[in-house]
Amino acid sequence: MKHNLKLTGRLRNYLILPIFLTILLVILNIPIYFVNQEAGVMVSGFLVVYVVCMFASFLRNQPVLVKEVINFATQYSTVQKKLLNEFEIPYALLDINGKILWMNNKFGEVTGKDKGYHKTIFSIFHSISKEELQKGEGESNFYIHWEDKVFRAETTRLYFESMVEQSSIIEVTEKKEDSAYLIAFYLFDETELSQYIQENREQKLVSALLYIDNYDEALDSIEDVKRSLLIALIDRKINKYFNEMDALVRKIEKDKYFIVFKYKFMEFLEEDKFSILEDVKTVKVGNEMSVTLSIGVGMNGDSYKNNYEFSRMAIDLALGRGGDQAVVKEYDRISYYGGKSQTVEKSTRVKARVKAHALRETLESRENVIIMGHSISDADAFGAAVGIYCAARVLGKKAQIVLNTVTSSLRPIKECFTPDKGYPEDMFINSERALEIVNKNTLVMVVDTNRPNYTECPQLLNKGLAVVVFDHHRQSSEVIQNPVLSYIEPYASSACEMIAEVLQYFTENIKLEPSEADCIYAGILIDTNNFMTKTGVRTFEAAAYLRRCGAEVTRVRKMLRNDMDAYKARAEIVRHAEVYRGSFAISVCPGKMESPTIVGAQAADELLNIVGIKASFVLTEYQEKIYISSRSIDEVNVQLIMERLGGGGHLNVAGAQLSGYTLNEAKRAVCDVLDKMLEEGDIEG
């Protein structure tokens, strides 16, 4: 395509300047004729000579001028090219597809290629993608790890049109319509900088707190003369493990340690999965009970104090989850390790008595109480709510229970609390009503859950009201923020067991109606699978207390009976169960029914009665979510499995809720988690 070229810019103005001077002299010569004709003729003669000389000079010097301009441009370009070729920064020119058009000496030196190499940049740096190279309209940066070095690559687009438009001598009157461009590719060696950053990061100090979970219980299980030996062996195990990491270990109390070490050892600890948790259980000097540890690690804070606060949060979370585990806390990430053993039941009731008195003081300072459990309430959440209702009634406080959905399994229990039987009509309210009646003097009581999104009305927790949490599930990173009172005991079999203990210390001679005692007893019965799961001495003591209050086993059994459809559905779940990896039973709740999640949980319990099944998983589709009920006896920690899916629970009773999944996708997700955990050794098939 031909282009019309013309001189432009300062060079053009310089060349046409004599023409303007000639015109000016002609105009000035005209008035001279009117003054003196002879003088005018003389000036005209000189003007003609000037014009002739000017044109002769122009014709003679034009080729010389053009030659000098070309020579200057050539020399200027040569200097530029030489400087660019000897540039200390590796530089290459690529086409739109990443093909190398030209490279300077430094680029060839770094990559080991000569200037005749015209393949794509991807053949040298395999980590670069075409999309990454072409993204963005202007400059872009990305990092390349090549051989033993780290480069920061910077790319800039060079458009053909803009390069032509920048010319001050030549103007293109006809342009191409497309916007083709070249890519300037720079490499900046940041290997040394990266090493310094990594070294600085590795030298940061990490704070950790280590607690012995069952110190008193372990010492009580051995003879007095062996107690000092047990303590010494535990100290030796802990110090030996952390001294390998050049850590500072200081015993701050008889069962508490403060530890400081460098960040570079965190990778080892995470790969090792804090093996000290299992190693310390091997310490035996006649003690029947294995010693367990809880570890809280805080790191990547803004200061040492910040790291210590993170470690305090982490150890609280580890203890709240039942102990025998390590929790690593950063700004926006929490990691869990261990937690495979069954939680140890505390024989003392001191904590229950303290929490009972604290609950009474909190209730006395409020005008009314709103009680709520988790969504799709079960017998345990309902029974715990009724227990708190009774406590508030003793103090003369108005109490109401948030209940949005009444399942078929819960309906027989709820029918015991009707106005005909002496209970107020507004004893049970929905979420909308709860949000209307709350005020600054309202206490929000949460039972049987510690996750805000699992409650019947999460909006109540965002009102800035006083909140109290009573729960028996292990805590996760998602917790109710800033409760005025929190009583979370993972060792407890159920929330109803905790409430039954608290009621005994709440006030003297508190009176429960038989229907209320039945309701709380039913909650314990359901969560312990008829006293077969997670039962301890205190579980039976709580049941005995409720029996003294008038609970009747026969009435409770009648209330908990299933209808025929639910029984058939449970049988279908068991019949269609698939055995995965020889040890895990997985099934899906069929069809639609009124209380599918309850039926799914019951079926998961039934599947454990099959020989060879270590854990069971039942998936239920309900209200646009997939609910997973998981159960085990003692060999598999289903809580760790459900946490991988965003859920939680206990070692042998856990669950999860999945949004945006189909049943097949959720089933595949469970299988994938099992595969990964088996591969990593977190569970045994």
Domains in the chain: how many in total?
5
Q: Note whether residue 259 is domain-resident.
A: yes
Same domain, 638 and 501: no
Same domain, 287 and 316: yes
Q: Note whether residue 345 is domain-resident.
A: no
**Tokens 């069971």, residue?**
616
E strand spans, 333-438:
334-338, 368-372, 398-402, 428-429
H/E element holding 659?
strand 653-659
CA distances from 191 to 144, 154, 464 (A): 10, 15, 50
Mean pLDDT of the chain: 84
Same domain, 436 and 529: yes
Same domain, 549 and 598: no
**Tokens 């342009």, residue?**
175
CATH label of the domain that carries residue 141: 3.30.450.20
Q: Residue range 517-540: average pLDDT?
A: 89
Residue 9's pLDDT band, with cuts at 50, 70 and 90, is low
One-letter-per-residue 3-state SS of 326-339? EEEECCCCEEEEEC
CATH label of the domain that carries residue 672: 3.10.310.30
pLDDT tens, position by position, 47-78: 888 888 877 776 776 666 666 666 666 666 67
pLDDT tens, position by position, 574-617: 999 999 988 999 999 886 777 788 888 889 999 999 999 999 99
Same domain, 266 and 243: yes
The parent domain of residue 165 ranges over: 91-198
Residue 348's pLDDT band, with cuts at 50, 70 and 90, is low
CATH label of the domain that carries residue 468: 3.90.1640.10
Structure tokens at 353: 């008595």
Residue 623's pLDDT band, with cuts at 50, 70 and 90, is confident
Q: Note whether residue 352 is domain-resident.
A: no
Structure tokens at 375: 């969504």
Q: What is the pLDDT of residue 552?
A: 92
Q: Note whether residue 351 is domain-resident.
A: no
Query: How many other CB atoms are there within 10 angstroms of residue 619's CB atom?
Result: 25
pLDDT for 176 beyond 50: no
Q: Note whether residue 450 is domain-resident.
A: yes
- More confident: 380 or 216: 380
Same domain, 137 and 246: no
Boundary of a domain, candidates 559, 580, 595? 559
Q: How far apart are CA 413 and CA 517, in angstroms?
A: 11
Residue 139's pLDDT band, with cuts at 50, 70 and 90, is low
H/E element holding 324?
none
Q: Residue range 463-478: average pLDDT?
A: 85
Q: Note whether residue 353 is domain-resident.
A: no
The DSSP bridge partners found for residue 335 are 328
- Reference 157, options 140, 181, 176, 177; nearest CA is 181
Same domain, 579 and 555: no
Q: What is the pLDDT of residue 503?
A: 93
**Tokens 């309701």, residue?**
519
Boundary of a domain, candidates 559, 594, 613? 559
Same domain, 584 and 675: yes
Structure tokens at 477: 């990173």
Same domain, 313 and 259: yes
Same domain, 535 and 451: yes
Same domain, 98 and 74: no
Boundary of a domain, candidates 85, 103, 137? 85
Percentage of residues in the chain having pLDDT higher than 90: 37
Q: How far apart are CA 474 and CA 228, in angstroms?
A: 32
Q: Note whether residue 205 is domain-resident.
A: no
pLDDT for 466 beyond 70: yes
pLDDT tens, position by position, 385-439: 999 999 999 999 999 999 998 888 888 999 999 999 899 999 999 999 999 999 9
Q: Note whether residue 344 is domain-resident.
A: no
CATH label of the domain that carries residue 263: 3.30.70.270
Highest mean pLDDT among 145-159, 538-552, 562-576: 538-552
Same domain, 178 and 96: yes
Structure tokens at 664: 């097949």
- Reference 254, options 231, 288, 281; nearest CA is 231
